[in-house]
Each structure stands twice: as structure tokens, then as C-alpha cells.
Amino acid sequence: MKISASILAAKLTELGSTVPAYDPAAIDLMHMDVMDGNFVPQISFGEALCKEVRGLTPIPLDVHLMVSKPENHVAKYYELNPYCITFHIETTDFPVRLAQEIKNNGAKVGISLNPGTPVSSLETVLPYVDLILLMTVEPGFYGQKFIVNGMEKIRKAKEWIGSRPIELEVDGGVNETNIQELKKNGVDIVVVGAGLYKTGTPVENAKKLKTLVSN
């Protein structure tokens, strides 16, 4: 199981001194929560900070675009060679074209669903997708609680994926109390914010989480 560190929950002004110490054996991906103050009420950061982080670590970026009309923003991220670029199905009328564009530019294509969006909304885009990112909190903040029917939705998404080569990523409220069940339900990547940054160090916390799901 891969761990994607949500740096939204880190002290952003200290990234220059903290991120170079991240151990790629513990932290697989750098989860970058880009928020535009439109699709979600908050504004976090954009391509400039992502570029800085890219320069601090060899760990690849996992770009999570929480922005309206992602087709107008996505091109700024190609030069960062991210592991994947994920956009929300709720934010665009052109998911197929956008997915093809992302793939043609060398990144994996992720599509994300808010808690209120049914898994069936992916039906027509599945052939174009490399990764599904299920939100298990309403997007906007770190430190929220995993939603009530989250596990059920994860199982449903796994059924839709079937034997397709699509990774399943879960974002929101992941911690030591639910990571084992997430693994059991076939989740490939977990995004962890508060679970890494609240206390201790992110690398030690990531190692502890990995130990819980190591077999």
C-alpha cells in the first residue's frame, strides 16, 4: 500500500527544511491539494508551490486539483512530471478530452469523486482512467472524520474497477484505526494528512502505518 503525504496538513513555511528528510521508503507520494476558492471555499496553493516541493525531494507528486474547469489549469503541472494528475468529475464537462490530454503529457489520469457523487458517475470515463480518488471527507480541510458510508463506497468502486488496471486511492480521515480495513477492501494508495503531521514526525508516522498493513 502506498502512502501519499498531504502536505496541506504540514507547516507550509517549513517545507524547505522538512521535505528533504522524507524517506521514499516510508512516503511514496507527495499529495498536493490545489484549491481555487471556487470549487471548494478554500484557497490553498497552486503550481508555484508544487514546483518548489518538486525541487526538494525525488518523491513524485500526486496532484489533486480541487478547481473548477481544471482544463484551464492542468497544463501548468505537466513540467513537474507528476505521478498522476487528478481532477474532480464534478468540475468539468469534458472529462474524456481532459483525461486524454493528461495521458498524452505523460502523467497518469486520476478522477476524483466527492462523498455525495455516486460511483456510477464514472461509468463512461472508466476506459480513460488510471486512478480513482475517492474522497472520504468533503474536500477543503485536513483533519476531518472519515465519512460514515466510506467503506461501502470503496467496495462499490472496487467492483466497478473489476480487473481493469486502475489504482484506487482514498483521501480523507485515514489513520491507524481504518488503514487495515482500507487495505482489506483493496485500496492501493492512501492520502494521509493529520495522521502524519498531528504529532511526531511524518516519516515515523508513515512507517507505523505501513507496518500495520505490511502483510
88 marked as binding residue: no
What's the CA gap between 193 and 43, in Å, rounded?
A: 17
Look at residue 192 and give the partner it binds from Zn ion, ligand DX5, none, a contact being a CB closer than 5 to 8 Å depending on partner kind.
Answer: ligand DX5
Instruction: Determine whether 62 is an active site residue.
Output: no
C-alpha cell at 102: 493528461
Given 28, 62, 130, 171, the catalytic residue: 171
Residue among 98, 171, 197, 205 that touches Zn ion (CB under 5 A): 171
Known binding residue 140? Answer is: yes
What DSSP designation does 146 have? P
What is each CA distance from 192 to 62, 143, 165, 168, in whole angstroms? 12, 9, 23, 14
First to last CA, the chain: 10
Q: Among 28, 33, 36, 167, indicate the residue that binds Zn ion (CB under 5 A).
A: 33
Site string for Zn ion, 63-92 (x = CB under 5 A): -x----------------------------
Amino acid in the structure at residue 147 = I
- Residue 112 and residue 88 in contact, taking contact as beta carbons nearer than 8 Å: yes
Query: DSSP per residue over 87-129, as a string?
Result: EEGGG-S-HHHHHHHHHHTTSEEEEEE-TTS-GGGGTTTGGG-
Report the distance separating Cα 83 and Cα 64, nearest Å: 11
Residue 82 engages ligand DX5 in binding (rule: CB under 6 A): no
Give residue 124's region: left, alpha or beta (phi > 0; psi -120 to 50): alpha
> Of 122 and 133, which has the nearer Cβ to ligand DX5?
133
Q: Is 33 annotated as a binding residue?
A: yes
Q: Is 130 a catalytic residue?
A: no
In angstroms, give the least distance from the CB of 113 to Zn ion: 12
Residues 27-46 that bind ligand DX5 (CB under 6 A): 31, 33
Nearest-angstrom CA–CA distance, 17 and 27: 16
Residue 182 binding result from Zn ion, ligand DX5, none, given CB thresholds of 5 to 8 Å by partner type: none
Tell me the residue nearest to Zn ion as measured from the CB: 64
The active-site residue, picked from 28, 33, 62, 130, is: 33
Catalytic residue numbers read 33, 171
Note the residues at the interface with ligand DX5 (CB under 6 A): 6, 8-9, 31, 33, 64, 137, 139-140, 142-144, 171-174, 191-195
